[in-house]
């Protein structure tokens, strides 16, 4: 909690000097509520730097830190831990001070922007335009979008970059096949239309492998493309545009609208200057005819220096040169102070070497963060690589459609034709889309990034447990409470007092007030699963709050001030769930 951090920082400074080290991560939520709500663990690290006993430091801070408006008297535990118990009065004031809901893209619930706003570039999705997007692109796309939304929510400027593969020798093959099967494209590139990119690629590859004439023409097309031949470039641009049309149909369905396509070709004219600048800095040397960068701590299996090749022996640049040029552009032209690459774990060594080269070049100041947000693989239910029944690659568009259709079946099963709450066809379609797409995203984001996970459609569409359907139902259920109470939750006065007395109210209030620190943690650590875990705990706290046996009366509570207080708790809980789901890239629905 930032407020606790500010108070303890001030107390440490006044007690031990303003230059005394302090880390806000010394304050953490208690794992066991019997010991309090938060715990200050800074006495132990301070003891080392101050040469004092941890318990003496804890006693000093307990006597001077100003927390009377936040916490009950502090308790010293163990060698010097300070246990903090939030008061009901603080919780009441914190919730009452949350302003009315915002009508912008998302509801901030009164959260303040980060004081030190940064310009962040998130490199995400990045499909190869020679083929259709497949399931392997799902994690980068979904994780990248969620991280971007959370960073924007915290006040940072985020540029989402789709570093698509739109250059290389395979495009000679594709351009040649286009000339053969759609010759009209040569004179009218805008007329290009490809129904199935995967089938088109397979046909082009088959022609390349079976026809020497085709292969020779494809190689010549590469020469023409790299040489800047206008006719070839026009066909290439048309193919890239058509491929991106397929990609953006998927992005639209995933609710991703701010992704900027900036392919490998964007950096073509920057490759030579980039390598020349590194050469002038003494970082590039020739090895077996290739221009390479050798970095400390990177060795091959034989213990020999591992080269980072930036220019091949035939004079062509490779992907390392492109990535170096991209970083150079993002730092200098975009002005980024944080670069995040949402790319799978197999590329760990590449990014470690890339970042080491950037540090050695001096392009990035020490304050600039270079981060590889690595993630594991999505597997089938059998724990094996996700494939079609015949062993092929699963198209992402087919996976999403399957999820929506499965969601529709689940909704129809839950609600019979004779149900007096029966939904209209258009409502069912909208709910199916939100639940199906949301289920795929939520299942992906709820797992630890670095672990592989099994794609289980039945489990992710379950209305029980930590799933999107459960979260969406919880939100819709809270919204229905307003209708049951014959009141518009959104119209509740923002200054209506919130009274916190019952144990269920206290537990729910404590969960709601944790939302800002969850966001801060994700901004720091880039782990969206922290948010899914938080939302699940929040909805469970609300269920206990609304339970007639273990919780409190709400719609019929008396007196009216108590009823209004509890309805406001319902409203703020719903707003928190909606904002949290938005940050995961998931749309809410008002009725299920």
Same domain? For 404 and 551 the reply is yes
Strand pairing partners for 294? 307
Q: Write the DSSP symbol of residue 104.
A: S
* Closest residue by Cα to residue 455 from 390, 508, 382, 520: 382
Residue matched to tokens 């080290």: 21
Q: Write the DSSP symbol of residue 395.
A: B
Asked, for residue 99, whether it belongs to a domain, the answer is no
Same domain? For 578 and 560 the reply is yes
Same domain? For 428 and 557 the reply is yes
pLDDT number for residue 421: 61
Same domain? For 409 and 474 the reply is yes
Element (H, E) at 469: helix 468-484
Same domain? For 425 and 503 the reply is yes
The tokens describing 169, both together, are 């020798």
Q: Write the DSSP symbol of residue 310.
A: E
Same domain? For 465 and 492 the reply is yes
465-491 pLDDT per residue, tens: 999 999 999 999 999 999 999 999 988
pLDDT number for residue 189: 77
Three-class SS of residue 32?
Answer: coil
Asked, for residue 340, whether it belongs to a domain, the answer is yes
Three-class SS of residue 158?
Answer: strand
Burial class (CB in 10 A: 0-12, 13-18, 19+), 420: exposed
Same domain? For 575 and 457 the reply is yes
pLDDT number for residue 177: 92
Prediction pTM value: 0.93
pLDDT number for residue 418: 46
Q: How far apart are CA 59 and CA 341, in angstroms?
A: 45
Dihedral class, residue 548 (left if φ above 0, else alpha if ψ from -120 to 50, else beta): alpha
Asked, for residue 91, whether it belongs to a domain, the answer is no
Q: Which of 19, 54, 86 is the last residue of a domain?
A: 86
Ranges of residues in the chain with a pLDDT under 70 are 102-104, 389-391, 415-421
Q: Which domain holds residue 244?
A: 170-258
Domain count, the chain: 4
Q: Which of 53, 86, 119 is the last residue of a domain?
A: 86
pLDDT number for residue 351: 97
SS (H, E, C) 490-541: HHCCCCCCCCCCCHHHHHHHHHHHCHHHHHHHHHHHCCCHHHHHHHHHHHHH
Q: At 297, which CATH number?
A: 3.40.50.620
22-56 pLDDT per residue, tens: 998 899 999 888 889 999 999 999 998 888 999 99
Same domain? For 562 and 511 the reply is yes
Q: At 470, which CATH number?
A: 1.10.730.10
Same domain? For 288 and 226 the reply is no
Asked, for residue 97, whether it belongs to a domain, the answer is no
Asked, for residue 343, whether it belongs to a domain, the answer is yes
- The per-residue b/e assignment along 170-207, b for 16 or more CB within 10 angstroms, e otherwise, is bbbbbbbbbbeebeebbeebeebebeebbebbeebeeb
């Amino acid at each position: 909690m930032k407020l606790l951090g500010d108070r303890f920082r001030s107390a440490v400074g006044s007690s031990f000097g303003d230059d005394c080290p302090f880390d806000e991560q010394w304050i953490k939520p208690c794992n066991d509520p019997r010991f309090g709500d938060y715990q200050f663990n800074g006495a132990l690290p301070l003891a080392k730097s101050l040469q004092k006993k941890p318990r003496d430091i804890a006693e000093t801070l307990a006597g001077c830190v100003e927390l009377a408006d936040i916490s009950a008297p502090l308790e010293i535990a163990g060698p010097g831990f300070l246990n903090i118990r939030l008061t009901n009065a603080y919780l009441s004031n914190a919730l009452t001070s949350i302003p009315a809901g915002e009508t912008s893209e998302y509801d901030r619930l009164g959260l303040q922007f980060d004081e030190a706003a940064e310009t962040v570039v998130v490199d995400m999705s990045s499909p190869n335009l020679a083929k259709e997007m497949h399931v392997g692109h799902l994690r980068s796309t979904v994780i990248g979008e969620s991280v971007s939304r959370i960073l924007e929510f915290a006040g940072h400027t985020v540029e989402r970059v789709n570093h698509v593969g739109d250059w290389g020798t395979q495009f000679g093959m594709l351009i040649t096949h286009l000339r053969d099967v759609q010759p009209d494209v040569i004179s009218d590139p805008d007329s290009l239309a490809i129904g199935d990119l995967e089938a088109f690629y397979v046909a082009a590859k088959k022609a390349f492998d079976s026809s020497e004439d085709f292969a020779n023409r494809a190689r010549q097309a590469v020469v023409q493309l790299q040489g800047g031949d206008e006719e070839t470039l026009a066909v290439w641009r048309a193919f890239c545009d058509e491929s991106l049309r397929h990609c953006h149909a998927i992005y639209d369905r995933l609710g991703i609208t701010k992704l900027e396509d900036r392919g490998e070709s964007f950096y073509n004219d920057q490759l030579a200057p980039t390598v020349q600048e590194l050469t002038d800095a003494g970082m590039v040397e020739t090895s077996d005819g290739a221009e390479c960068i050798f970095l400390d701590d990177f060795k091959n299996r034989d213990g020999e220096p591992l080269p980072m090749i930036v220019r091949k022996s035939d004079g062509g640049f490779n992907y390392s040169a492109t990535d170096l040029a991209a970083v150079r552009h993002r730092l200098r032209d975009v002005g980024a102070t944080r670069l995040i690459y949402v790319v799978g774990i197999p590329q760990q060594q590449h990014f470690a070497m890339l970042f080491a080269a950037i540090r050695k070049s001096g392009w990035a100041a020490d304050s600039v963060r270079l981060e590889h947000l690595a993630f594991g693989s999505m597997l089938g239910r059998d724990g094996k690589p996700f494939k079609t029944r015949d062993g092929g690659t699963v198209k992402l568009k087919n996976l999403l459609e399957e999820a929506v259709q499965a969601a529709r079946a689940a909704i129809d099963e839950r609600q019979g034709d004779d149900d007096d709450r029966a939904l209209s066809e258009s409502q069912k379609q909208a709910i199916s889309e939100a639940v199906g797409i949301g289920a795929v995203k939520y299942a992906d984001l709820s797992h630890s990034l670095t672990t592989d996970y099994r794609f289980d459609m039945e489990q992710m569409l379950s209305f029980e447990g930590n799933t999107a359907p459960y979260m969406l139902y919880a939100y819709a259920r809270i919204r229905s409470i307003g209708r049951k109470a014959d009141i518009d939750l959104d119209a509740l006065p923002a200054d209506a007092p919130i009274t916190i007395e019952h144990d269920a109210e206290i537990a729910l209030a404590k969960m709601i007030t944790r939302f800002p620190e969850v966001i801060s943690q994700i901004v720091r650590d880039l782990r969206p699963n922290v948010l899914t875990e938080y939302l699940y705990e929040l909805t469970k706290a609300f269920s206990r709050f609304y339970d007639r046996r273990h919780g409190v009366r709400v719609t019929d509570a008396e007196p009216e001030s108590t009823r209004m207080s509890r309805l406001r708790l319902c409203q703020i809980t719903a707003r928190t769930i909606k904002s949290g789901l938005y940050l995961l890239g998931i749309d809410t629905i008002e009725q299920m």
